[in-house]
Structure 1
Amino acid sequence: MRDVSEKQAADDKVAVVIVAAGRGTRAGQANGPKQYQQIGGGAVIARTLGAFLTHPKIGPVVVAIHADDGALFRRTAGANADRVVAVTGGTSRQESVRLGLLALRSNAPGRVLIHDAARPFVDAELIDRTIAAIGERQGALPALPVADTLKRETAEGMIGETVSRAGLYAAQTPQGFPFWPILAAHEKAHHLGKADFTDDAAIAEWAHIPVKIVPGSPENVKLTWARDIAMADQRLSSAPRFPDIRTGNGYDVHAFEPGDHVTLCGVAIPHDRKLSGHSDADVGLHALTDALLATCGAGDIGTHFPPSDPQWKGAASRIFVEHAAKLVRARGGRIANVDITLICEAPRVGPHREAMTETLSAILRISRDRISIKATTNEKLGFVGREEGIAAIATASVVFPGDVPE
């Protein structure tokens, strides 16, 4: 987990404080705190984090967690744990928010959203509406008009009166504020010992910060009780889904130099020149390596096999492809198909296509019908047309586990 000071908080980015330090006793403790319980095959907090980390307007994200939950948070958040700042929260929601805001102070954002981890169904449109309503001295509160008839109870448990619902709203999160005013309000409340605020809009109201109501979302429910967790799990489990299929592209080019053969897609082909490169300069396999790495966000071939490293001098490029395929499989990926186009005037690729396909089938451990190798000329145009080198384009499709909601 990084420190906020390592990332400049740009004015056009909005920071987020996610409150996840509670014990959630009303949801039951059999499966741990509610923010770590499973819904639709993933943890509540993982889904909440994803909503903000994938939003283009969001910058630094701080998560206030319980002192005992460090390892649990890392395990549950997975790769996202390194994209956020985790701070130890307080004994109340209000104190956890204050500590989260303090973590942003060294590189203060212009605006901040404060969100409950137990609201995993927040969507991009709600985030956008809230951000748009934040002003220099104005906060924003997503809320829904109260639809139910309200009754006030007497001490004897009887109906005392019917309360008009006109102008009444049910507050949601994320609640958005200009950063310094809301931090100052929290700090003032802390120093005065006022710890009875139920949300941040209430603190803003107390500190005379105007708060604009924006339309909330009926989907943005807070998971409070065990039945809420069960209903959320059922909702996600029954939602239409589609497979997590990812496509990666790769491109490479190598120039000719004196030699007697070229290596393309793992096959040595006699030629009056060879390709220049630190390894065996197999342009097809280099492009394929990049395509495979792209499907799991693992950088490029130079990241894993820098040309400055002497151990790769003259190395067979199948090593690079095997490494990329291993990374894909380590993340649970299954290579569905690969497609390579070799662009050259010479040598002729057609007579060697079967051997190339057989080689790739063995390297990737996939059937031959999932491999396509094509060749084309550049119609005598450019460096390829002048027979100065060979270029290659590769595409790989990989199926990863875990369906993505439609």
Structure 2
Amino acid sequence: MEQVRSGTIGIVVVAAGRGERAGASLEGPKQYRRIGGRAVIWHTLKPFLDWPKSGPIVLVIHPDDRALLNDATADVPRRENLIVVTGGATRQASVLNGLRALQGRDVGHVMIQDGVRPFVDAALLERIATELSSGKSAVLPAVPVSDTIKRGDASGVVMGTVPRKDLFAAQTPQSFHYETILFAHERAAEEQAADFTDDASIAEWAGIPVHLVEGSIDNVKLTVQRDIAMADEKLRGSALPDVRTGNGYDVHQLEAGDGVTLCGIFIPHDQKLKGHSDADVALHALTDALLATCGAGDIGDHFPPSDMQWKGAPSRIFLEHAARIAREAGGTIMNADISLIAEAPKIGPHRQAMREKLAEILGISLDRCSVKATTNETIGFVGRREGIAAIATATVVFRGNA
């Protein structure tokens, strides 16, 4: 057995192909098609970015795909750690470019992954890493062939049945001692050897023993359009719904005046609410609730009362701003619910107008907007008519997995 080699495990993800068999799409080559709300390449990269044993990660792309890549990986974790290089005319040339990008980076082993295998899991990576750490120079994840294999001639006539006992379907990441596979690739390029379909074939050609490790039946390669559609169905069927609920609370003091503004509706009254803006306690609470659904702080962070531009401002500005933040984060506002706590004025006669105003500001249907009111039974500052309080709840559904 060879000695265990030092250095990290480098990753090369090959995503420079055009994928003609998947058909044309406005989204671009198949590695940029959307499955489960995100690009295939996003799903391929994430397990390696999450795996604690990953060293430097090289992504090999087509020179025309920079914009597609930037869009596809905008929110991928640790995106700044990716090393992006362009590929060559063949997969073999693209892998060699990726391997060369790891030179000088203290890499002991390397995993070479197809960019369109989005379902690799940490358990498979650990099995491969164990084999590499035992001293093996080449490790190939594979699954036994389960279908009956027939051999046919050019006219489509079956010539015989191939025994499947010792047959395996190769997967990626195919993994190697780094210097060993780099040397084999360099030699194959220099000698203009046959265009190999995978890296294990180059290792075999170079006389490097390739050891099988248990693959994963889920670790499929997306080749044709139906593969992509099935992957999308799988992810959408298994994804947890990303439904978030935010709460908000606000209170404003009452003072002598001619009316109060609640939920954007002015109600004549012998008092008014004291505040820097129009003091719409209901919209302030709902603004906080919406901001909470995407971790965007509170109303004071965005509209500090020390800023004079907001003096007397209508509070719908604040709510529209919070709704825009939620939508830009990928959210769809599903519901807004406000409870007003006040002894006076009476809210009932104005409830419908308030709901309509909320629907208008948020751009959602009326049945998704609720306004309720109660008194404080003459108890506390609300009961003494010293102020009005509001409690708000917002529900937002976000795209992607939770």
Q: Report if TM-score (shorter chain) is over 0.5.
A: yes
Q: 1:288 to 1:55 in 2, by over 3 A?
A: farther
Deviation (angstroms), 1:316: 2.2
Deviation (angstroms), 1:21: 0.6
Deviation (angstroms), 1:392: 2.7
Q: 1:23 to 1:334 in 2, by over 3 A?
A: closer
1:111-150 → structure 2 map (5 Å cutoff)? 114-119=112-117, 122-123=118-119, 126-133=120-127, 134-135=129-130, 137=133, 141-148=140-147
Q: Deviations over 1:242-269 (max 9, x none)?
A: 8997643333344655745765433456
Does the residue aligned with 1:320 lie in a helix, a strand or coil? helix
- Report the Cα distance in structure 1 between the residues aligned to 2:314 and 2:378, rounded to whole angstroms: 30
- Structure 1 equivalent of residue 94 of structure 2: 96
Q: Identity of aligned pairs, percent?
A: 42
| 1:67 and 2:63 are equivalent in the alignment | yes
Q: 1:298 to 1:152 in 2, by over 3 A?
A: same
1:219-258 → structure 2 map (5 Å cutoff)? 220-224=219-223, 228-229=224-225, 231-232=226-227, 235=230, 247-254=243-250, 256=252
Q: Deviations over 1:350-393 (max 9, x none)?
A: 44534432321332344433211235689999999998984633
1:363 to 361, 364, 368: 361
Deviation (angstroms), 1:97: 3.9
1:387-402 → structure 2 map (5 Å cutoff)? 390=389, 392-397=391-396
| 1:50 and 2:56 are equivalent in the alignment | no
- Structure 1 equivalent of residue 335 of structure 2: 337
- Report the Cα distance in structure 1 between the residues aligned to 2:248 and 2:211, rounded to whole angstroms: 54
- Structure 2 equivalent of residue 317 of structure 1: 315
Gaps of 5+ in 1: 1-12
1:29-44 → structure 2 map (5 Å cutoff)? 34-35=29-30
Deviation (angstroms), 1:191: 4.9
Does the residue aligned with 1:68 lie in a helix, a strand or coil? helix
Deviation (angstroms), 1:30: 9.1
| TM-score, L = length of structure 2 | 0.63
Does the residue aligned with 2:313 lie in a helix, a strand or coil? coil
Q: 1:266 to 1:69 in 2, by over 3 A?
A: same
1:288 to 273, 286, 291: 286
Q: 1:223 to 1:34 in 2, by over 3 A?
A: farther
- Report the Cα distance in structure 2 between the residues aligned to 1:165 and 1:95, rounded to whole angstroms: 32
Q: 1:248 to 1:137 in 2, by over 3 A?
A: same
RMSD (Å) for aligned C-alpha atoms: 5.6
Deviation (angstroms), 1:212: 5.7
- Structure 1 equivalent of residue 5 of structure 2: none
Q: 1:188 to 1:394 in 2, by over 3 A?
A: same
Does the residue aligned with 2:314 lie in a helix, a strand or coil? coil
- Report the Cα distance in structure 2 between the residues aligned to 1:283 and 1:358, rounded to whole angstroms: 17
- Structure 2 equivalent of residue 9 of structure 1: none
- Report the Cα distance in structure 1 between the residues aligned to 2:373 and 2:284, rounded to whole angstroms: 16
Gaps of 5+ in 2: 1-7
Q: Deviations over 1:133-168 (max 9, x none)?
A: 2237268644210235567899xx999997653343
Which structure's CA Rg is the greater one? 2
- Report the Cα distance in structure 2 between the residues aligned to 1:209 and 1:274, rounded to whole angstroms: 80
1:153-168 → structure 2 map (5 Å cutoff)? 164-168=163-167
- Report the Cα distance in structure 1 between the residues aligned to 2:251 and 2:358, rounded to whole angstroms: 23
Aligned residues of 1:254 and 1:275 also touching (Cα < 8 A): no
- Report the Cα distance in structure 2 between the residues aligned to 1:129 and 1:47, rounded to whole angstroms: 20
- Report the Cα distance in structure 2 between the residues aligned to 1:241 and 1:147, rounded to whole angstroms: 27
Q: 1:222 to 1:379 in 2, by over 3 A?
A: farther
Q: 1:272 to 1:153 in 2, by over 3 A?
A: closer
Does the residue aligned with 1:69 lie in a helix, a strand or coil? helix
- Letter of the structure 2 residue corresponding to residue 49 of structure 1: W
- Structure 1 equivalent of residue 216 of structure 2: 216
Q: 1:213 to 1:345 in 2, by over 3 A?
A: farther
- Letter of the structure 2 residue corresponding to residue 305 of structure 1: H
- Letter of the structure 1 residue corresponding to residue 302 of structure 2: F
- Which region of structure 1 is more displaced relative to structure 2, 258-267 or 29-38? 29-38
1:166-177 → structure 2 map (5 Å cutoff)? 166-175=165-174
- Report the Cα distance in structure 2 between the residues aligned to 1:216 and 1:271, rounded to whole angstroms: 73
Q: 1:41 to 1:345 in 2, by over 3 A?
A: closer
1:11-30 → structure 2 map (5 Å cutoff)? 17-25=12-20
Deviation (angstroms), 1:65: 0.9
Q: 1:62 to 1:185 in 2, by over 3 A?
A: same
